[in-house]
Amino acid sequence: MTRLSVNINKIATLRNARGGNNPDLVKSALDCERFGAEGITVHPRPDERHIRYQDVIQLKPVLQTEFNIEGYPDDRYLQLLQEIKPAQATLVPDPPGAITSQAGWNVIEHGTFLQRIIRQITESGIRVSIFIETDLEQIEAAAAIGTDRIELYTEPYASLYPKDKSGAVRPYVKAAELAQRLGLGVNAGHDLSLENLGFLKKQIPFLEEVSIGHALICDALYYGLENTIGMYKRQLKA
């Protein structure tokens, strides 16, 4: 089974646009769980323009599914992990001012740094996934530094999919199969949608988890949150 983890950053963005607590982030996360999501993902950034660090603290005691905290592994992020102890930490190479994740780690270049961070996190009982592209040498390097999983950065797949879906998915299949042979779990995320999710799942049936936020929340404006989560889950079962 491929788990659907709903990234709730965009719900926080909407709340922050007016101040106050509408929409209620905690209630929204619990609704996502109630409607069938198997996980909740957040990505707190230093400027707290969407998820706030206090949100993460408030979510931890009430969530019933897997909690995945994404972020660049600076001191504040690592301290948050120690306090919250989520099921999974997803390490991304974003600089502080990035609007969204736009690349995977260069594990070959940053391997020593990442290996130290991964060891620190896993010793706390937290599963580690690192955001990565489909370069096979990078995936081999990821396996060598002790990460539990990789999260394949799927924006290139999503961009090419409308023109050539077979060509779009081919490097992801090769990357995922190599990761599986190396003993790594495989997650995926970024620009996945109702249009392209089912095909990715069919080609990589052993995907552990997909993390989806922007497209899912946009779809919820048209279809409603409960119906939308059901639609995404059906794509994962197709």
Residues 225, 35: contact at Cβ < 8 Å? yes
3 state DSSP class of 153: strand
Catalytic residue among 43, 50, 151, 208: 43
Check if 43 is active-site.
Answer: yes
Q: Which residue reads 């996360």 in tokens? A: 29
Q: How far apart are CA 40 and CA 75, in angstroms?
A: 23
Q: How many C-beta atoms lie closer than 10 Å to residue 92's C-beta?
A: 25
Q: Which residue, among 233, 189, 200, has the nearest Cα to 7 in the 3D structure? A: 189
Side chain identity, residue 62: V
**What does each C-alpha distance from 2 to 105, 162, 221 come to in angstroms?**
23, 23, 24
Q: Which helix (H) or strand (E) holds 91?
A: strand 88-91
The answer to whether residues 6 and 215 touch, using CB atoms and an 8 Å cutoff, is no
Which residue out of 50, 133, 151, 190 is catalytically annotated? 190
Which residue out of 50, 70, 133, 209 is catalytically annotated?
70
Q: Is 70 a catalytic residue?
A: yes
Instruction: Give yes or no: 48 in active site.
Output: no
Cβ(193)–Cβ(231) under 8 Å?
no
List beta partners, residue 95.
none
C-alpha–C-alpha distance, residues 126 and 120, integer Å: 9
Rounded distance between C-alpha atoms, residue 74 and residue 188, angstroms: 23
Residue 11, token pair as written in the block: 């719900």
**Catalytic positions:** 43, 70, 190
